[in-house]
Structure 1
Amino acid sequence: MNETQQAFLLHSRPFKEHQLIIDLLTQYDGKVSAVISSGHSLKANKKGILQPFSLFSLQLSGKHSLKKASQLESCHQPIMLAGNSLYSGLYLNELLVKLLPENIPCDGLFFSYKQVINQLNEAVQIEPVLRYFEMQLIEELGVSFDFSALENNRGELFQFNVEQGFVEASSDSKSPIFEKQHLLAIAQENINDPNVLNTHKRLMRQMLNHLLGYKPLKSRELFIAREKKT
């Protein structure tokens, strides 16, 4: 702490008078919660820095879990995501806030997030970008998919069990069913085929729902509501 590092704002909420609590994804310290003034002492240009998806530098101080943020400086022009890219960015931020433990360095995930935000800003195909980051996140959390069990199994349809991994599909199970060829394509990071991409989405949804304790995500609800209007 106390050294200058880069960060992204994930979420902010009011705290005491003229103060905010900000949840950050930082370059050196992972996810950090910090308090910062939101009153006259924080100049207008500094308020503009505290925008989601925009990279800035800062210093963090304090011995407790809630740090004090200071010395904010913008690192580049603000990124203004729009449309599906915006909702996708909000989704990733919510995942990080809810799943990532605090004050544990995760520099690889930080740079993956930075790359993904730039890709969303460039309006590239969104689904593969989201699946890539979701995989990076669950690996950071210490969980992953073991696809090796599929290679020597003659079955063609499988289900994923959090404790057992991939098992042959059972007709009396309510879990999603996946085609083996799609799962092996995911293992090889070959997800350009729309069917494979759909399988990957359903597989990640199952894993993330488990990690979230099956609690709904506000960003998903916002996206669904937007889709209904269009």
Structure 2
Amino acid sequence: MAPSGRQAGRPQPRLARALGGSRSAVSAPAVHAGARSGAGLGAVVKRVTHEPGYVLHRYDWSESSVIVEAFTRAHGRVALVAKGAKRPSSNFRPVLLPLQQLSLNWGGDAEIRTLRGAEWGGGQVMPTGDALLSGYYANELLMRLLAREDAHPRLFDAYAALVHVLASGQTEPLVAAALRTFELLLLRETGHLPALDAQTLTFAPLATDAAYRLVPEGGLRAAHADDGAWLAGAHWQALTGALADEAPFSATLQAVAQLPGDARASLRQQLRELLHYHCGVGTLRTRQLLMDIQALS
């Protein structure tokens, strides 16, 4: 029989501090549409201003310009060309950094829009060390699992909360709990997370003291004797309740942080297998980089 979950208690002071300021205080962006000069009838140029966003990835487009993959609250993942961003005098050069909330302006109707302006939103410093690599890991997940122009405002808020935790110098266990929380919310928002309060194939409710395993192709099922990773039904039920909370990141972070150490490690393994399956890779690049660095230290 699997051990039952621990009773949820009050948030620990360190956890409460980590949650402070995790809600994104963002104003609604402005969207404008106007006829494009010289274009055919019905052609429209879309202009977006003051849109909260983060740089997920950037790569060269020309000798002086870069393509920026940005995650925005109202427009999802968008591709933007930052013309002249590689020039030393460019206003884009010091601003287009990862893990920093920005206010973005862009226009155009092509798949790759033209970045018109970018301003730093402030709020936190750049994460360092393992926290920085954890941020790159989250960015890689978003790049692999999000389609372009598919808005996920709740996921954007969860990502902003994760960045806040990474930048605030929290302990390794709390950073790990924040990553598990983000992974759960990402899988749910993209439709890859089955219901965690019943067995997926039989719809049978979970017994609190029984063991269940999350598998990529079968969802949640009763654990087998040779399963190396599983959680008690009580743990899955606690996560279900937290994910349904009005503040899902805060509630799920608390639920994950309150799991016993072996249960947190087991959850990490099961979520990793599920993410790799849906990303279509054996190992994510940032995960492999982190393992290589740890092997050298």
Aligned partner of 1:187 among 228, 237, 240: 240
- Contact 1:7–1:27 (CA under 8 A) maintained in structure 2: yes
- Contact 1:6–1:58 (CA under 8 A) maintained in structure 2: yes
Aligned partner of residue 281 in structure 2, secondary structure: coil
Task: Quote the offset at 1:202 in angstroms.
Answer: 1.2
Task: Quote the offset at 1:44 in angstroms.
Answer: 4.2
* C-alpha distance 153-119 of structure 1, shift in aligned 2 (>3 A): closer
Render the CA deviation track for 1:66-93: whole Å, top value 9, x for unaligned.
Answer: 1111112222166321111101001001
Tell me, yes or no, if structure 1 residue 178 matches structure 2 residue 230.
Answer: yes
- Tell me the distance in 2 between the aligned counterparts of 1:156 and 1:82: 40
Corresponding residue number in structure 1 for 2:70? 24
Q: What is the Cα-based RMSD across aligned positions, in Å? A: 2.3
Tell me, yes or no, if structure 1 residue 164 matches structure 2 residue 213.
Answer: no
Total equivalences in the alignment: 228
Q: Which has the higher contact order (CA 8 A, sep 6+)?
A: 2
Larger radius of gyration: 2
- Tell me the distance in 1 between the aligned counterparts of 2:290 and 2:240: 28
Tell me, yes or no, if structure 1 residue 3 matches structure 2 residue 72.
Answer: no
Corresponding residue number in structure 2 for 1:144? 193
Tell me, yes or no, if structure 1 residue 75 matches structure 2 residue 124.
Answer: no
Corresponding residue number in structure 2 for 1:199? 266
Q: Which runs of 5+ in 1 are unaligned?
A: none
AA aligned to 2:168 is E
Aligned partner of residue 48 in structure 1, secondary structure: coil
Task: Quote the offset at 1:117 in angstroms.
Answer: 0.5
- Tell me the distance in 2 between the aligned counterparts of 1:39 and 1:204: 37
Render the CA deviation track for 1:132-181: whole Å, top value 9, x for unaligned.
Answer: 11111111111223222254458833333334322223357xx6541425
Within a 5 Å distance, the mapping from 1:113-124 to structure 2 comes to: 113-124=159-170
For normalisation by structure 1, the TM-score amounts to 0.88
Task: Quote the offset at 1:19 in angstroms.
Answer: 1.3
Corresponding residue number in structure 1 for 2:38? none
Farther-moved stretch of structure 1 (107-116 vs 41-50): 41-50
Within a 5 Å distance, the mapping from 1:80-95 to structure 2 comes to: 80-95=126-141
* C-alpha distance 40-96 of structure 1, shift in aligned 2 (>3 A): closer
- Contact 2:77–2:150 (CA under 8 A) maintained in structure 1: yes
- Tell me the distance in 1 between the aligned counterparts of 2:84 and 2:147: 26
Aligned partner of residue 178 in structure 2, secondary structure: helix
- Contact 2:84–2:90 (CA under 8 A) maintained in structure 1: no
- Contact 1:183–1:199 (CA under 8 A) maintained in structure 2: no
Normalized per residue, the structure richer in helix is: 1
Aligned partner of residue 145 in structure 1, secondary structure: coil
Task: Quote the offset at 1:45 in angstroms.
Answer: 4.2
- Contact 1:7–1:55 (CA under 8 A) maintained in structure 2: yes
Tell me, yes or no, if structure 1 residue 228 matches structure 2 residue 292.
Answer: no
- Contact 2:57–2:68 (CA under 8 A) maintained in structure 1: yes
Tell me, yes or no, if structure 1 residue 66 matches structure 2 residue 112.
Answer: yes
For normalisation by structure 2, the TM-score amounts to 0.70
* C-alpha distance 42-74 of structure 1, shift in aligned 2 (>3 A): farther
Aligned partner of residue 92 in structure 2, secondary structure: helix
